[in-house]
């Protein structure tokens, strides 16, 4: 059977079929490629991390009361040891131990018998001297008339004048003896040299005391006002002196109980500071004067003294927002205008309540991450919300009012 020849129509049909299959394959490849690209793009978007929610605090200048807290000890304003000034036996105690006494109040009575006798003897000697001077004076006047008519020699007249001068000197000596006897007689009454609270008596009736004995009879302490002796380390003394410059009066407030922060109801003033640093302790001494009308502050009591230097405008950052670097520096996390988290090194050498006083590294308007910075890294996208202070925790853990502490945190 003879092979049939292909006609031109069949050739065209085959060509069209081949072209159609080629176009269908190309379309299928293009559609598949586009679909896969969209799926990959959607998957990449699905795997991207959403912005990390954080709580931030905007740094703004705040006016605070600048205080410096230091340890101190109560010392008496005045303290006097009662001592005898004459020898004798105590025959009576005239005060109640532990009571308040007034200056000039009699405390003890020493047996005054021999001092009374000595006073009487001195007075008698004075009268004798006074009588003698009268007799010599009369003789001197008579000799003055007689020497003019040569009834007595000039030598006798000179002798009478000398006797008169000696008689007057004897009066002066007798008067001094009377005064000394009166002083010794008065010393048998032992008086309070100052006003204050008296201690227990260290002697009893019948005790022999002497003028130069080492043991005192009692001690009187003035408790209103009192001194607060404060110690400041020499390394911080320059900063403290710089704050004191230009201050006419620095107010001092006391904290009696450091655990509860109980304040003392009265405030005093800083009086002076030493000009030298103690070589053994490396500290400088300050002294404040504090009223004590209720007698709460007793000598020897340890207190915390807050020195008030007035108000100051500072930048504060919560301590909980800071972290410590391995080198010992302080770092906070700030939010950039692009919404990214970045670490920032700061310097802060003083604390105020639960915050740090920033000396460098931050400026007004910066947003500091307080909560959530543990979950971010440099350049991480964040979703900031304002930080709310936990008032309940603050009420449970109260901070001393207007307290600034020195030293690096």
Q: 330 in a domain, yes or no?
A: yes
Q: What is the mean pLDDT of the chain?
A: 81
Q: 169 in a domain, yes or no?
A: yes
Question: What CATH number does residue 273 fall under?
Answer: 2.40.30.170
Q: Which domain holds residue 192?
A: 86-110+188-215
Q: Are residues 198 and 231 in the same domain?
A: no
- The whole-angstrom separation of Cα 50 and Cα 222 is 72
Q: What is the pLDDT of residues 293-337, one digit of tens each?
A: 988 898 999 998 888 777 778 899 999 999 988 888 899 999 999
Q: Are residues 195 and 105 in the same domain?
A: yes
* pLDDT score of 378 more than 70: yes
Q: Are residues 157 and 235 in the same domain?
A: no
231/245: higher pLDDT: 231
- The whole-angstrom separation of Cα 49 and Cα 292 is 65
pLDDT band at 190 (very low <50, low <70, confident <90, very high): very high
pLDDT band at 14 (very low <50, low <70, confident <90, very high): low
pLDDT band at 241 (very low <50, low <70, confident <90, very high): low
Q: Are residues 204 and 317 in the same domain?
A: no
Per-residue pLDDT, averaged over 251-268, amounts to 83
pLDDT confidence of residue 398: 41
Which tokens go with 403?
């307290």
Residue 91's Cα: distance from chain center in Å? 47
The torsion region of residue 166 among left (phi > 0), alpha (psi -120 to 50) and beta comes to alpha
Q: Is there a contact between 394 and 261 (Cβ–Cβ < 8 Å)?
A: no
Q: 135 in a domain, yes or no?
A: yes
Q: 1 in a domain, yes or no?
A: no
Count of structural domains within the chain: 4
Cα angle, residue 72 at apex, residues 229 and 102 outer, rounded to 5°: 55
Q: Are residues 165 and 273 in the same domain?
A: no
Question: Residue 355: beta bridge partners?
Answer: 318, 352
- The whole-angstrom separation of Cα 290 and Cα 268 is 4
Question: What CATH number does residue 182 fall under?
Answer: 1.10.287.470
* Pairing assessment for the beta strands 350-352 and 404-405 based on DSSP bridges: antiparallel
Cis geometry, peptide bond prior to residue 33 (ω within 30 degrees of 0): no
* pLDDT score of 26 more than 80: no
- The whole-angstrom separation of Cα 117 and Cα 316 is 80
- The whole-angstrom separation of Cα 188 and Cα 108 is 8
Q: 384 in a domain, yes or no?
A: yes
Helix residue ranges per DSSP H, 188-307: 234-244
Domain stops at, among 174, 200, 215: 215
Q: Are residues 90 and 203 in the same domain?
A: yes
């Amino acid at each position: 059977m003879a092979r049939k020849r292909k006609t031109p129509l069949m050739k065209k049909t085959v060509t069209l079929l081949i072209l159609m299959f080629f176009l269908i394959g190309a379309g299928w490849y293009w559609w598949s490629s586009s679909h896969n690209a969209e799926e990959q793009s959607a998957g990449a978007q699905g795997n991207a991390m959403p912005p990390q929610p954080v709580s931030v605090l905007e740094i703004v200048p705040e006016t605070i009361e600048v205080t410096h807290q230091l340890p101190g000890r109560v010392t008496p304003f005045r303290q006097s040891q009662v001592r005898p000034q004459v020898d004798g036996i105590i025959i009576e105690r005239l005060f109640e131990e532990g009571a308040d006494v007034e200056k000039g109040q009699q405390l003890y009575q020493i047996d005054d018998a021999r001092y009374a006798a000595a006073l009487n003897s001195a007075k008698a000697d004075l009268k004798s001297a006074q009588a003698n001077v009268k007799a010599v004076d009369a003789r001197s006047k008579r000799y003055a008339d007689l020497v003019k008519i040569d009834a007595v020699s000039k030598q006798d007249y000179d002798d009478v004048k000398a006797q008169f001068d000696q008689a007057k000197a004897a009066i002066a000596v007798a008067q001094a003896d009377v005064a000394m006897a009166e002083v010794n007689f008065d010393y048998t009454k032992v008086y309070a040299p100052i006003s204050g609270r008296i201690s227990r008596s260290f002697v009893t009736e019948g005790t022999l005391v002497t003028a130069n004995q080492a043991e005192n009879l009692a001690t009187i302490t003035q408790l209103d006002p009192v001194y607060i002796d404060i110690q400041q380390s020499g390394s911080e003394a320059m900063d403290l002196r710089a704050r004191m410059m230009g201050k006419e009066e620095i107010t001092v407030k006391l904290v009696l109980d450091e655990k509860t922060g109980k304040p003392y109801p009265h405030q005093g003033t800083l009086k002076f500071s030493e000009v030298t640093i103690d070589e053994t302790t490396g500290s400088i001494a300050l002294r404040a004067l504090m009223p004590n009308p209720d007698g709460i502050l007793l000598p020897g009591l340890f207190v915390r003294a807050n020195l008030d230097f007035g108000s100051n405008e500072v930048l504060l950052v919560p301590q909980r927002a800071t972290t410590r670097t391995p080198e010992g520096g302080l770092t906070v996390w700030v939010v950039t205008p692009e919404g990214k988290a970045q670490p920032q090194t700061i310097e802060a050498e003083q604390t105020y309540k639960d915050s740090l006083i920033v000396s460098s590294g931050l400026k007004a308007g910066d947003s500091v991450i307080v909560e959530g910075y543990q979950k971010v890294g440099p350049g991480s996208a964040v979703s900031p919300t304002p930080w709310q202070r936990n008032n309940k925790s603050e009420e449970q853990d109260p901070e001393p009012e207007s307290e600034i502490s020195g030293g690096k945190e």
